Structure 1
């Protein structure tokens, strides 16, 4: 079994081409497990750490005319939202004739100048064009959480997205855009929180508000809830991780007790529950019905 080599300084930071590598090491050394092939002719030490690494690797083999699109454009414009191994999505003009390969997903498209922006990784679709592309995904459970992130972090507006759509009236999936935009909420603070909200709306439940601030009868701030129906005093929290630290458990209990004292009922939904959306919908539906009936009594 080969030992881990001493990696030359020139190859330590980010991806590099095979040609660059062979200026510093031999072909046999490049086959050492310390060097991981990312795509054809591109390597990185120890493997991809972030999606930024994947984008940088793709740029080494793509022509300058390539424009980052879709989820990759969202990642570049709005922050760390993709996994390291997620595909790098790009547009290329038809004449470029570059095929998608390995982690690179290519579509042919010539974009107008106002739909392209410059980023730290070269050209990418503008926030409005990125939203236009994402809103055309076939499933709103996929598209809306991504649009929430994009709207919350870039400030792109519905009007701007619709302006792009007006210029591409015959584009594939354009009829999906309005439905997706109707569900967007830039106040959402996590994709799973967004997914929970969209799941409830798709089931026909009243749309909850995001980031609901709760006050007690004395006007004192109690807590901020992920989702809620303030008139019914019902809240939802998405718990992405269990809080095992004793100090955190004590804080969580005190917070929940304060919410109960303020007259609120709060459901905590975790990842395993969200994997069974029909159960979550049934639970919330029963609670909303009971609280509504009580309010009318």
Structure 2
């Protein structure tokens, strides 16, 4: 789901966050497939925003009256410090659910939804429908399911070395994993919230003869959330590039090392 560098989408008439002026509507995770063909990079890498019509209507931008719970055993919440709040104890289809009805709960929901929307699972038809159902508000689910299915079609999957079920070929492992580095609420009320999630991630296909090697990416995903049926759910989202650091001079790992890392290291549940 994204407007930044490592994701790309079929041409839906919109771009993810490579748009020079930005997109006022929701967007989907971006995936920029790497290829030895510059024409493929141009077509798939530039057209990177899948969803551009998830307008979040009736957003309440009233100032927040919600204050984080203070715990004498933990430092006060700050942009670079954890709040000390326990992560949510429940999941549905592998996605954390039942976030607290607080500003911190909205931040936690946004961070975990960012991970799900830019995961390799979003490329698998069955898992995609489960992700949409768990992440989005009910009135957006049907439209989003249709848009995702059209975007992640057989041709698009083939371009990044996957079959129609989102599986990689023999000797290859498709990698798409995101790690939120921080969250920032820009609007909050009891019924709605807007949260920016700063992320980094690794994307591509690990394999000795891969034409889409695994690379890193930095992007910010903005999610518009709504309190619905006792939980925070996304009503729309968009992505843009960065902020990104100057690349380091670390030695790149082998394809086997990257594949094993994804298989052997589990993900996290994120809480603010």
Structure of higher CA gyration radius: 1
Judging by fraction of residues, say which structure has more helix.
1
TM-score by length of 2: 0.20
Give TM-score scaled by structure 1 length: 0.19
Q: Which has the higher contact order (CA 8 A, sep 6+)?
A: 2
